[in-house]
Amino acid sequence: MSDSSLRLVWVYPDLLSTYGDRGNALVVERRARQRGLNVQRIDIRSDQPIPTSGDIYLIGGGEDRPQRLAAERLRADSGLPRAVDNGAIVFSVCAGYQILGHEFINDLGEREPGLGLLDVWSTRGEGARSVGDVLAESDPVLGLPTLTGFENHQGVTHLGQGVSPLAQVTVGNGNGDGSGTEGAWRDTVFGTYLHGPVLARNPAVADMLIKLALDVNALPAADTTWYDALRAERISAVGQGA
Ligand code: GLN
């Protein structure tokens, strides 16, 4: 943390905020406040410069055209790579995840460069869109409980040597490249296809981001009753084929 307050940056809410991904910012903010932290949340629209002094950056999903516009602006801005160089944590979802990779296929059917912050690249799936609930078991290094979320994407993401899969799917497609993996991560940069919002369904992931920002191994306990109810409801709905 730069000072006594946790600086949380929500990147481009005007372009990248599908399926309630804004909830990720609310959950990190809430989980941090529950631990007595002073949180400064900064929403950065796409016509504003990305600050380089944030502690945690959150990026959501988006439709294909806003995704291209966001990638163009993030490349031109260069604040996000500089923030990562400064040790910032980045957690990205779906379109945001694809933008953090080397390239993706844009709404014009062309290869669009990403930021290269994750060693992944995305192509357009030839088959049906990946739509539906996902269950996945996280990389054991991260020590997270079963991940739950829902996916809705045409893109297929391929992982290079420079990242680890975030998780292995047990239900759903995730990266969709035939490897059975979901998302990717390296050091402080994370990408996932999961919406939900994913941090509302998986508060342990929000806590992981806060722990990384504080550079601590544990946080004081905080009530998870509401999250536990949501998790149980969604996990059982998947079991019943919902
Ligand atoms: N446009 C991207 C795709 O379909 C991402 C979609 C999303 O963010 N929901 O792959």
Domain boundaries, the chain: 5-239
> Is 195 noted as a catalytic residue in this protein?
yes
- pTM of the predicted structure, to 2 decimals: 0.96
What pLDDT tens digit does each residue of the chain (242 aa) get?
545 689 999 999 999 988 899 999 999 999 999 999 999 999 999 999 999 999 999 999 999 999 999 999 999 999 999 999 999 999 999 999 999 999 999 999 999 999 999 999 999 999 899 999 999 999 999 999 999 999 999 999 999 999 999 999 999 999 999 999 999 999 999 999 999 999 999 999 999 999 999 999 999 999 999 999 999 999 999 976 65
Q: Does domain 5-239 have CATH number 3.40.50.150?
A: no
Adjacent-strand bridge partners of 201: none
Output the CA 100–ligand 1 centroid distance in Å.
Answer: 13
**Alpha helix stretches (DSSP H) within the chain:** 22-34, 64-77, 79-85, 95-100, 198-201, 203-214, 225-239
Q: Is the CB of 123 under 6 A from ligand 1?
A: no
111 vs 98, 102, 128, 156, 228, CA distance in Å? Answer: 12, 10, 20, 13, 41
**Alpha helix stretches (DSSP H) within 169-224:** 198-201, 203-214
102, 153, 158, 195: the catalytic one is 195
94, 102, 153, 158: the catalytic one is 94
Q: Is the CB of 192 under 6 A from ligand 1?
A: no
Identify the residue whose C-alpha is closest to ligand 1 atom 8: 61
